């Protein structure tokens, strides 16, 4: 038996503990704020319940906004303001939640979805320049654009799980176009 295995058995057998590394979990909410009522709560009641639970537990969350669900209307913006005032972060999840893998989704549609949503969410104090792909689907750059059409094909679209959340800052040029 190796020294490593003996040490592991000793730790488990004698109940010795080793200091654990700090761990972090991020709590995120997608597709809100929803301004449609549910059978049990109004949108304002639902928003306040979420805020109360987060506040009671001392948790900061990030809310990924989809404009079509209400953030483009005064009552939805009021909900976002309450979330932001509560110390929570606001980020971009597009206007209409399109599937970037769909044959009908062009790179121009992709860019406009991000830029239009960003124009709304960046007005809140809790805004962070972060984007989450709808359905966690990153699109297919070989179909949407060639590298000469968009130098971001590999950087923006990315691949694998590293693209679950992407920072927008380096993607959007001064022209308002994705780089």
Give the model's pLDDT for residue 18: 53
Number of neighbours of residue 34 by Cβ within 10 angstroms: 16
Indicate whether 11 belongs to any domain.
no
pLDDT in tens, 123-179: 999 999 888 888 877 655 544 444 433 333 233 333 333 333 444 444 443 443 333
In a domain, 143, yes or no: yes
Classify residue 122: in a domain, yes or no: yes
Domain span at 154: 43-167
* CATH code for the domain in which residue 158 is found: 3.20.20.370
- Quote the CA–CA distance of 23 and 15 in Å, as a whole number: 22
Cα–Cα distance between 35 and 13 in angstroms, integer? 55
Domain contains 68: yes
- Answer yes or no: are the C-beta atoms of 166 and 158 closer than 8 Å: yes
Residue 6 confidence (pLDDT) above 70 = no
H helix intervals, the chain: 3-14, 43-57, 74-85, 107-121, 141-144, 153-157
Residue-wise pLDDT tens digits, 84-103: 999 999 999 999 998 888 88
The answer to whether position 25 is within a domain reads: no
Q: Is residue 130 part of a domain?
A: yes
The verdict on residue 109 lying in a domain is: yes
pLDDT 10s digits, 39-79: 899 999 999 999 999 999 999 999 999 999 999 999 999 99
Tell me how many domains the chain contains: 1
Is residue 124 included in any domain, yes or no? yes
Measured CA to CA in angstroms, residue 133 lies from 5, 16, 46, 127 at distances of 44, 44, 25, 17
């Amino acid at each position: 038996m190796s020294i490593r295995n003996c040490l592991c058995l000793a730790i488990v057998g004698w109940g010795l503990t080793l200091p654990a590394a700090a761990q972090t979990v991020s709590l995120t909410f997608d597709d809100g704020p929803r301004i449609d009522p549910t059978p049990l709560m109004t949108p304002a009641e639902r928003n306040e319940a979420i805020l109360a639970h987060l506040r009671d537990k001392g948790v900061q969350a990030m809310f990924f906004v989809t404009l079509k669900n209400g953030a483009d209307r005064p009552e939805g913006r009021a909900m976002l303001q309450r979330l932001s005032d509560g110390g929570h972060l606001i980020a971009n999840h597009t206007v209409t939640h399109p599937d970037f893998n769909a044959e009908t989704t062009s790179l121009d549609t992709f860019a406009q979805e991000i830029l239009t949503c960003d124009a709304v969410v960046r007005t809140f104090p809790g805004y962070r320049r972060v984007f989450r792909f709808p359905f966690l689907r990153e699109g297919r750059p070989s179909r949407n654009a060639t590298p000469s059409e968009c130098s971001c094909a590999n950087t923006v679209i990315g691949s694998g799980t590293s693209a679950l959340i992407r920072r927008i800052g380096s993607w959007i040029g001064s022209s308002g176009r994705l780089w």
